[in-house]
Amino acid sequence: MPRAEHNISRADISDNALKVMYRLNNAGFEAYLVGGCVRDLMLGHKPKDFDVVTNATPEQIKGLFRNCRLIGRRFRLAHIVFGREIIEVATFRGHHSDDTALAKQDEQGQLVRDNVFGSIEEDAERRDFTFNAMYYEVANFTVTDFAQGVKAIKRREVDLIGDPDLRYREDPVRMLRAVRFAAKLDMTINPRTAKPINELAHLLSNIPPARLFEEILKLFLSGSGLKTFRLLKQYKLLEPLFPILAKVINAPDSREMALIERVLENTDERVNTGQRVTPAFLIATLLWYPVEEHATKLQAEAGLNSHDAFNIAMGDVLHRQSQRIMIPKRFSTVVRDIWHLQQRLPRRFGRRAYQLLSHPKFRAGYDFLLARGETEGGKILELAEWWTQFQQAAPGAQKKMLTSLRQQEGKAPRKRKRPSKAKSNNHA
């Protein structure tokens, strides 16, 4: 498609991506924008990143750019670093000598083989979805559409290139990508592409937990998490990712499902209005009721007190989930803080209320309590509303709230020794 037949303008392309392509062209190599950035530009969206593909080998790319680092073992990629922006440059991928290769399945039925270099035509056939096989060439401003991606965009369809069964066996994460694109781009999954998903969903258990964590971030923290969650449920992909939620998945009207959907809806709103979100809050939500259930079971069966049972339950649930999806410590620590605060926030007497307000993760714990209250109602909602008022109240009003709370509970205030003049009695 010449420039007059498509809507991609260099003004919408990263200056750094243009620099990379021009330098490759000047050195005698082909260079194209490819994949999601071309798809998004064709849709009129602003791409988050720009990927370049070329016939230059990784070593040749590195020779042209001092700010280049090579990554990967099975298939080497070049990352060209411009401050915070990274332009990923890949060499054209080729076909394998035995493309049927079903004999190379592992025990779970996933295909295992290394990538090889090839031509642009072969590279296009190796792409996953039809709308990701469009290539923009800055040398002549053309877009080459190898797999009728423009037609897929017009039909609002997510469609795999090649045999879906084979492509999912090559990389089961493509099933998650199909759902993510359908939710993100407001499209439907082509019936041919959707058909094998239920049968092959189990292959996700063969994906490294660290890679699945990165996929979860893309699925749920990109502004269309609620729609993505519902599609994952529809295509039976939730249970392979979160086996611990098997009961919840089959109870659509449960409080557990209501809380998850409420938090996902709030997360989408925050993402789409430019506010910060953390994976820890979502993980805390997804696993909260399994922790509660496990703690209750430990109390009943092992005779543990509530504190010990809850601590053990937190560790057990996080460990079990990490077997499937890795939860980095920087997030699992915050998850634990949010859960601990659900146990501490009901204890408000004396200095405890002020100490909790100064807790580094108070806001996350309070937001989680509020989501629970809005879902469950009753005493949880009353507690969340109390904390809402307490945060906003002036110091004198806060003291009155605590006094009133003691009177409601029928507890007399404890007499405290007056502090000596040398000591501070400042709650802050």
279 half-sphere exposure, CB direction, 13 A CA radius: 18
Q: What pLDDT does residue 271 have?
A: 95
Q: For 101-118, what is the mean pLDDT?
A: 57
| pLDDT confidence bin for 302, thresholds 50/70/90 | confident
Write down the pLDDT at residue 250. Answer: 82
Cβ 163 vs Cβ 24: under 8 Å = no
> Which pLDDT band holds residue 350 (cuts at 50, 70, 90)?
confident
pTM of the model: 0.85
Provide, rounded to the nearest whole percent, the portion of the chain with pLDDT above 70.
Answer: 91
Is 253 part of the annotated catalytic residue set? no
Tell me the C-alpha distance between 67 and 61, whole Å.
10
pLDDT of the residue at 103: 41
Q: CA-based angle 316:251:321, to the nearest 5?
A: 20
Question: Looking at per-residue confidence, does 425 or 84 come out higher?
Answer: 84
Instruction: Give the CB-side neighbour count of residue 52, counting CA atoms within 13 A.
Output: 31
**pLDDT, average across residues 90-98:** 79
Domains 1-155 and 162-331 share a fold: no
Q: Which residue has the higher pLDDT, 247 or 280?
A: 280
Contact 280, 331 (CB under 8 A): yes
Averaged pLDDT, 331-340? 97
* Structure token pair of residue 206: 């063969």
pLDDT in the model for residue 310: 96
The Cα 314–Cα 292 span in angstroms is 9
Phi/psi at 224 (nearest 5 deg)?
Answer: -135, 40
Number of H helices, E strands in the chain: 21, 11
Poorest-pLDDT segment among 60-69, 99-108, 260-269: 99-108
Question: How far apart are the C-alpha atoms of 428 and 420, rounded to whole Å?
Answer: 18
Q: What is the mean pLDDT of residues 249-262?
A: 90
Report the chain's mean pLDDT, rounded to a whole number. Answer: 90
Residue 389 is which amino acid?
Q
| Model confidence at 64: pLDDT above 50 | yes
Q: Which amino acid is at 58?
A: P
Averaged pLDDT for residues 127-155: 96
Domain ranges of the chain: 1-155, 162-331, 345-412
- CA within 13 Å, CB half, 231: 23
Q: What is the pLDDT of residue 149?
A: 95
- The DSSP code sequence of 15-58 is HHHHHHHHHHHHTT--EEEETHHHHHHHHT---S--EEEESS-H
State what percent of residues in the chain have pLDDT above 90.
83
410 pLDDT band, cuts 50/70/90, is low
38 closest CA partner among 61, 15, 6, 16: 6
- In this structure, whether the domain defined by 162-331 belongs to CATH 1.10.3090.10 is answered with yes
Residue 145 near residue 127, CB atoms below 8 Å: no
Asked if 251 and 211 count as a contact pair (C-beta separation under 8 A), the reply is no
Residue 28 has pLDDT above 90, yes or no: yes
- 12 catalytic per annotation: no
Q: If you average pLDDT over residues 208-237, what whole number do you get?
A: 96
Q: Which of 40, 51, 123, 159 is catalytic?
A: 51
Q: Which of 63, 52, 58 is nearest to 75 (CA)?
A: 58
- Report the pLDDT value the prediction gives residue 73, as an integer from 0 to 100: 77
DSSP string, 297-363: HHHHHH---HHHHHHHHHHHHHHHHHTTS---HHHHHHHHHHHHHHHHTT--TTTHHHHHHTSTTHH
Backbone angles phi, psi at 68, to 5 degrees: -110, 140
Task: Identify which of 302, 383, 392, 396 has the alpha carbon closest to the alpha carbon of residue 342.
Answer: 383
Per the listing, tokens 């998490």 go with 225
Q: Is 128 a catalytic residue?
A: yes
- Active-site hit among 128, 145, 159, 268: 128
Fold type of domain 1-155: Beta Polymerase; domain 2 (3.30.460)
